């Protein structure tokens, strides 16, 4: 017997493909985001703040499932 629980052992050795779909599909960089260019385009305020590293507190509002 080992003192380690099976779930901990499994999570350490589990392949990346067992990760949830949302985690596997999550964009890894800002260029991977698609959507409204006036919100995420290179000239948008959000894009400029993120590239400068000046990320303020932002409240995103909208219905569930809209991609906030």
- pLDDT given at position 11: 54
Contact present, 40 and 33 (Cβ < 8 Å): yes
In three-state secondary structure terms, 10 is helix
- How confident is the model at residue 28, as a pLDDT? 87
pLDDT at 37: 84
pLDDT at 41: 87
Domain boundaries, the chain: 16-52
- Which of 63, 60, 62, 36 minimizes the C-alpha distance to 47? 36
pTM: predicted TM-score of the whole model, two decimal places: 0.46
Give 2's pLDDT tier (boundaries 50, 70, 90): low
CA–CA distance from 56 to each of 31, 40, 52, 59, 61 (Å)? Answer: 20, 16, 11, 10, 16
- Give tens-digit pLDDT for 3-47: 555 555 555 555 567 899 988 988 888 788 887 888 888 888 888
């Amino acid at each position: 017997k080992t003192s380690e629980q099976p779930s901990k052992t499994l999570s350490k050795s589990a392949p990346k493909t067992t990760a949830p779909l949302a985690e596997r599909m999550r964009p890894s960089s800002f260029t991977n985001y698609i959507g409204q260019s006036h919100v995420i385009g290179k000239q948008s305020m959000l894009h400029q703040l993120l590239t400068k590293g000046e990320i303020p507190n932002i409240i995103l509002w909208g219905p569930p499932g809209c991609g906030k």
